[in-house]
Amino acid sequence: MVHHSGSIQSFKQQKGMHTSISEILKEKSLKPSRRSLPCLAQSQTHPINLNHFLSVPLTPEPNAEVEGLSQSISNSCSLLPPQTEDGKDQCVEESEVTPCETRAEETFPLQKPVTRVKLEARPNSIQRKNPARSSGLFFREGKKRIDYILVYKKSSPQVEKRCTFEKNLRAEGLMLEKEPSLTNNDIMFVKVHAPWETLCKYAEQMNIRMPFRKKCYFTDWKSKTLGSRFHLRCRQIKSWLPRNPMKLDKEALPDLEDTDCYTAPFSRARMHHFTINNRGTFFSNSTRSRIVHHVLQRTKYEEGKSKMGIIRLLGNNTYEAAFPPHEGGYKSRHPIKTHGAQNHRHLLYERWARWGIWYKYQPLDLIRRYFGEKIGLYFAWLGWYTGMLIPAALVGVFVFLYGLFTMDSSQVSKEICEANTTIMCPMCEDTCEPWKLSDSCVYAKVTHLFDNGGTVFFAIFMAIWATVFLEFWKRRRAELTYDWDLIDWEEEEEELRPQFEAKYSRVERVNPISGKPEPFQPFSDKLSRLMVSVSGIFFMISLVLTAVFAVVVFRLIAMEKFASLNWYFVKKNWQFATSGTGVCINFMIIMSLNVVYEKVAYLLTNLEHPRTDSEWENSFSLKMFLFQFVNLNSSTFYIAFFLGRFAGRPGKYNKLFNRWRLEECHPSGCLIDLCLQMGVIMFFKQIWNNFMELGYPLLQNWWSRRKMKKRGGGGQNVENKAQLPQWDKDWNLQPMNAHGLVDEYLEMVLQFGFTTIFVAAFPLAPLLALLNNIIEIRLDAYKFVTQWRRPMPARATDIGIWHGILEGIGVLAVITNAFVIAITSDYIPRFVYAFKYGPCRDKGYHHDDECLQGYMNSSLSVFDIREMKNDSQFRYCRYRDYRAPPWSSGPYEFTLQFWHVLAARLAFIIVFEHLVYGIKSFIAYLIPDMPKGLCDRMRREKYLMQEMMYEAELEHLQKERKKNGRRYHHEWP
């Protein structure tokens, strides 16, 4: 330890810190710097108005608290409540507080807060008229903060379970207070508060990491010499540049300061190590709610191994709801710039959920502090995905503009538009007539917008982009888990699901982690249920294929009807009419089947009886992704790889049920059909999802308020909604989706698939995804802040199963884009013609206008129309294929050009896949999952933490020596 002490002292000398413990002891309490303010437990960096919401005085007042506790009323529910006249068991509804809160040791280093002087300067009358205490955030006495809300109906028959549960909650150290609803006489609220001693007890059990010392950053001699000058020059140059408008103003949002403290698992035995400036705010609101939820999950309501937990009580309707309360309203009469934020919810609304700041970065630290790390990681991933879409959207727009500017000069489009004498074979055999190739001039020009020379480049770019996106997200996630103190966090052992326990309670096995017996599912039973679930999945996939087949039949019928219609406009543009109507009907089928798939996935997942909630969520997420991915992309795969491939030739067309001729591609290719399919589905699906995410909760909340006004609330007459306490306001909001963030992730992952899998056919897909995500972030923010009850703050270190799904989509995107370029588009046939059959075959490749002359005539075969119709005025007609003419020795056989094109397509697929996979693997190898600077910081902090823990223990021993007057023969216990 001598070497370490010397190193830490030299480090402190570099940083201007104290060099000995004695100097620390002699030093008076200093005013903390701006950077160290977030370390203080009482949130001194809050706006001024946030100090109104402090639950206890800034300095400990043991006498007042003990007197308040002694005067509180303790009244618990009895197991055998008295009978009322109507024969129903009722509990005594009185305010009760259990005197469980005890003071800590007097030797705790309580620092003097900075804002104490400001608050003492305020009149006492202002503190008495604290609006937070009357807004439903505290108990009636105005000091104890509400950490959780339980809601039940007075008419519920589960009285005995509820009373036993609440009695056991009091035994665990929680304080309860009941309050009737002002809007419904049948609703009763149970306010739950966790006192200091209970918070400390369970924080130690849950290994919650808390701050104990300000961070010290190491700077070597290089940063003092070269680095200081370089950084000074950079700061000067940066001060001349205009301020980034996307950054949030940290002066207006002091809560966004990064936490600058070392943390360690909380321990009551080493409580003197931690920075406990104010007990009321040492544990944040989200941490307090998480601790209370932990207690609620492990409290029994009946005798028995599985008779515990608030989840089971919600399932059997003992309670109607359980949720942590919001921290007040999200709107204020006064502007936030002049009066500050009233609470964190108001701050989130003003600086995150409002539409006026759509271009700003997200306050991720504040989101994590209010909603927890799991929701914070979702919005961090969504923001990262949206930011990475910007370069993809720009490149896609450039590719589209290149096609737009070269549309009129394209040799293929010119030949089609000038082919006034080229007669095409009729689209149907009975009522259709031959048509001129020049009639599809517009169709050919629109096709060139998406099928041009930039298609291959863009497909390779998007494949690499998907890899870069995922690899850099790993680095971003590592930084977030470090900043949010999740590096050493290990997910605690999950509880078994009630359904699993009820099903397999007879068979038990010792848990290898906890060492306790628990229900066990035999392998044979698990395998049989899994087989049934897989069979259900295949059945639903076959249902999707049946729906796609129905759409194909509709397209065949519509093709003949539109081609023989008397309406000239529709007859001339029968390709657009067929594709457009088919896509719209397909979209309606997709949205209808999605409702069925969700219920089937829920049924199959419950049939499997997953062991824990995380296993249930992963299984449900995978089923929902498979169902919706197949449902959304099956028709797209048909158009990309099957449309026009098996149509046959004139005189020998392949027919479905010997009735309808199979659909064939336009002479300029099938890519425009694929582009139309993707554009329509992507556009309308995003509009529908946004409506269901925000419009549906708005309608539900409006309808509940309307019913409350219509019936007069069923309780007391409340004229203004602002007069309702916070628990009543939260009760009238919609609960968060029962599936958690599954729907949110599913929507974005499906969009990621649309953006990457068929991006070669639709380069504007990243742009549409970017515009949608900009709206999606604010929609989700508005929904979480204003329309939903506050979810239980949960912890997580990654996005779960969705990361593996994204990697699988990235691999599939390389294969599909290779096939789209090689098979669906006309890039390979044009390439083969230019080098083998065009005018440039002997002098090299120069320019499209020169090398592609005569391409359309080469790609169209000749058919003797009299073999099909004797009364036709034309002798020959043309069709899209590489076949010999009828006057050759082998009529209608494939030509040599057909085999050259086929070989080139197969070669392109192999080369493209290996090249792109090689580039992806090389990039993934070059980009480490964790930045080197972060690794160095983590190792440095681990070393400094050991030194600081040693010095803190040494300081505590010196204090004990002075206090007791004893001498110790050793410095370390």
| Region for residue 583 given its phi and psi (left: phi exceeds 0; alpha: psi -120 to 50; beta: otherwise) | alpha
What pTM, to 2 d.p., does this model score?
0.78
Query: Is residue 175 very low, low, confident or very high in pLDDT (cuts 50, 70, 90)?
Result: very high
The proportion of the chain whose per-residue pLDDT surpasses 70, expressed as a percent, equals: 74
| pLDDT for res 851 | 83
**8 Å CB contact between 376 and 368:** yes
| pLDDT for res 213 | 67
Lowest mean pLDDT among 131-140, 174-183, 215-224, 905-914: 215-224
647-661 average pLDDT score: 79
| pLDDT for res 914 | 92
| pLDDT for res 252 | 58
For the segment 185-199, what is each residue's pLDDT rounded down to a tens digit?
Answer: 889 999 999 999 999
For the segment 868-894, what is each residue's pLDDT rounded down to a tens digit?
Answer: 776 677 888 898 889 999 888 888 899
Q: How far is residue 405 from each of residues 219, 258, 400, 452, measured CA to CA in Å?
A: 55, 49, 9, 11
User: What one-letter code names the amino acid at 511?
Assistant: N
For the segment 664-688, what is each residue's pLDDT rounded down to a tens digit?
Answer: 776 666 777 788 888 888 888 878 8
For the segment 79-105, what is each residue's pLDDT rounded down to a tens digit?
Answer: 333 333 333 344 444 444 333 333 333
Contacts of 664 (CB under 8 A, 6+ apart): 644, 647, 879, 880
For the segment 408-431, what is each residue's pLDDT rounded down to a tens digit?
Answer: 888 888 888 888 888 888 877 666
| pLDDT for res 254 | 55
903-922 average pLDDT score: 92
For the segment 485-502, what is each residue's pLDDT rounded down to a tens digit?
Answer: 887 766 555 667 777 777
Lowest mean pLDDT among 109-113, 355-359, 624-628, 744-748: 109-113
954-959 average pLDDT score: 78
Measure the CA–CA gap between 470 and 759, rounded to whole angstroms: 18
Confidence check: pLDDT of 247 > 90: no
Confidence check: pLDDT of 10 > 50: no
More confident residue, 594 or 964: 594
Measure the CA–CA gap between 92 and 83, rounded to whole angstroms: 11
Contacts of 290 (CB under 8 A, 6+ apart): 206, 372, 792, 793, 794, 795
For the segment 581-622, what is each residue's pLDDT rounded down to a tens digit?
Answer: 888 888 888 888 888 888 888 889 988 888 887 888 889 999
Q: What is the mean pLDDT of the chain?
A: 76
The DSSP string of 80-91 is SPPB-TTS-B--
Measure the CA–CA gap between 168 and 171, rounded to whole angstroms: 5
Query: Is residue 63 very low, low, confident or very high in pLDDT (cuts 50, 70, 90)?
Result: very low
Lowest mean pLDDT among 76-90, 474-488, 625-639: 76-90
**DSSP state at residue 711:** T
| pLDDT for res 166 | 92
| pLDDT for res 381 | 94
Other CB atoms within 10 Å distance of the CB of residue 782? 21
User: What one-letter code names the amino acid at 249?
Assistant: D
User: Burial code of 167-178, b = ≥16 C-beta within 10 A, e = fewer?
Assistant: bbbbebbbbbbb
| pLDDT for res 258 | 42
Contacts of 613 (CB under 8 A, 6+ apart): 494, 495, 497
Query: Is residue 572 very low, low, confident or very high in pLDDT (cuts 50, 70, 90)?
Result: low
Measure the CA–CA gap between 187 and 772, rounded to whole angstroms: 40
The token pair at 718 is 């409340």
Rg (CA), the chain: 35
Lowest mean pLDDT among 111-120, 156-165, 236-245, 358-367: 111-120
533-542 average pLDDT score: 89
Helix (H) or strand (E) holding 189: strand 187-193
Contacts of 437 (CB under 8 A, 6+ apart): 416, 419, 422, 423, 424, 667, 856, 878
| pLDDT for res 135 | 60
Confidence check: pLDDT of 548 > 60: yes
| pLDDT for res 590 | 84
Most confident segment among 34-48, 190-204, 357-371, 553-567: 190-204
Confidence check: pLDDT of 20 > 90: no
Lowest mean pLDDT among 216-225, 312-321, 545-554: 216-225
Confidence check: pLDDT of 551 > 80: yes
Measure the CA–CA gap between 742 and 437, rounded to whole angstroms: 50
| pLDDT for res 259 | 56
Q: What's the burial of 807, exposed, middle or buried (CB within 10 Å: 0-12/13-18/19+)? A: middle
Confidence check: pLDDT of 172 > 50: yes
More confident residue, 677 or 179: 179
- Calculate the CA 973 to chain-centre distance: 48
For the segment 310-340, what is each residue's pLDDT rounded down to a tens digit?
Answer: 888 888 889 999 999 998 888 888 888 777 7
Contacts of 201 (CB under 8 A, 6+ apart): 173, 268
With H, G, I as helix, E, B as strand and everything else as coil, classify residue 634: helix
Angle value at C-alpha 402, between 399 and 406, nearest 5 degrees? 145
Phi then psi for residue 62, to 5 deg, are -65, -35
Lowest mean pLDDT among 155-159, 178-182, 707-711, 884-888: 707-711
Query: Is residue 386 very low, low, confident or very high in pLDDT (cuts 50, 70, 90)?
Result: very high
For the segment 434-471, what is each residue's pLDDT rounded down to a tens digit?
Answer: 888 888 888 888 888 888 888 888 988 988 899 999 99
Confidence check: pLDDT of 109 > 50: no
Confidence check: pLDDT of 294 > 70: yes
Query: Is residue 752 very low, low, confident or very high in pLDDT (cuts 50, 70, 90)?
Result: very high
Confidence check: pLDDT of 712 > 70: no
**8 Å CB contact between 175 and 65:** no
337-348 average pLDDT score: 84
